[in-house]
Amino acid sequence: MSQDSRPTHDLFTQVDITAGSQVDPNATGAANEQVSLMRSMLAAQDRQNELLEELVSQLSAAQRQRNQELGQWKQANPELARHCRIAAETLSQVQVEFLKSITEEISESADALLEGEFMLNEFVDRFGPRLAHLNGVLQVLAQLGSQTPPAPPSPAG
C-alpha cells in the first residue's frame, strides 16, 4: 500500500467565544428597559390574578347563599317543590310543542321574513312575548322543583 501524499485538513477549528471588547451602552439601556417593562407586566398580571380570585370568591359565596336559601325553601315546602317539578315537566313538553309550531311557521314564511321587515316584526310580536314568558315561568318552576343538590363538604382546616 502506498501512502497518500495529499494534505489533510483539520476537522476541528478554534472558535473565539470571548466577549467583544466593545459593549454598546444603548443596547444595555434598551435591555434594562425591556426587563423593567417585563417586571411591570408581571406585577400587573399578578394583580389581575388576585382580582380574579377575589371575584370568583365573591360569586361563589353569592351562589352558595342562593343555593342554601333555595334548599331551605324546598325543605319548608316539600309538597310545593314536588308540584313545581311536575309543572316544569309538563311546561317543558308544552315548550317543545310551541317551538315546533314556531319553527314550522318560520319554514313556511321564510322568504317573507327575510324580505320584509313588517313580517319579521309581526312574527316577533306574535311569538316573542309568549316565548319569553313561557321560558321565564319554566325556569322558575324548574329551579324550585329541582332536586336539592347535596351540600358540598366543608373544608377541613
Look up residue 145 and give its three cell numbers. Answer: 322543583
pLDDT tens track for 44-61? 999 999 999 999 999 999
Does the pTM of the predicted model rise above 0.75?
no
Backbone angles phi, psi at 110, to 5 degrees: -60, -45
Residue type, 69: E
pLDDT reported for residue 153: 47
Look up residue 98 and give its three cell numbers. Answer: 310551541
Query: CA–CA separation, 132 vs 87, rounded Å?
Result: 17
SS3 48: helix
Taking all residues of the chain, what is their mean pLDDT, rounded to a whole number? 84
Domain chopping of the chain, boundaries: 29-76, 78-148
